[in-house]
Amino acid sequence: MEVFLQTGYSALVTDTATGVLPDSGPLALFTHLARTSLFLEALQEECLEPYGLSFGDYSVLRVLRQLGPPYRLSPKNLADTVVRTSGGMTKIIDRLQRAGLVERLPDPDDRRALLVGLTRKGIRVSDKASDAYKAGRERILRRLSTGETEEIDSSLRRLLAVFEHDHKGELL
């Protein structure tokens, strides 16, 4: 099975044994999702790289910022929220701490635990990166009608729920 990418709306999905398949069905759906993912990653990089952030870094800053003052959460809760392993979250927190965007603080409710909190610089960078990412999203979404956006969102929410249950080994 080979996939030939083109710059148009869809990809030609070719089965080397039988020729070109219709641009619909499960294989085409996953090809479209994969291509969309690549374009989304490129948009995120375009918007966030000027601030020295990966999308994972930005996700942590955004989650903390959305909490409101004092902008703190445990590393475990952050990892669960942004879907990262504990080791992956440690790497992100280390990187953000070196950049002066977050700090590790003692948890006032549990002397054995730490919280991750936004610094003032982290709040500023988070806000600027959010503005840039919002502008990028709006640039893409303004090409779709409100109805199209709602239909895509509804379908993706359903597919996401299926993936989340599959990831957990649960039946729907």
Average pLDDT over residues 72-82: 94
pLDDT of residue 18: 52
Burial environment of residue 28 by CB neighbours within 10 A (0 to 12, 13 to 18, 19 or more): middle
Indicate if the pLDDT at residue 10 is higher than 60.
Answer: no
Give residue-wise pLDDT tens across range 85-114: 999 999 999 999 999 999 999 999 998 999
pLDDT band at 146 (very low <50, low <70, confident <90, very high): very high
pLDDT of residue 172: 60
Which residue has 């070719």 as its token pair? 14
Give residue-wise pLDDT tens across range 116-142: 999 999 999 999 999 999 999 999 999
Question: How far is the C-alpha of 99 from the C-alpha of 54, rounded, in Å?
Answer: 13
CB 48 within 8 A of CB 132: yes
Six token digits for residue 10: 């869809």
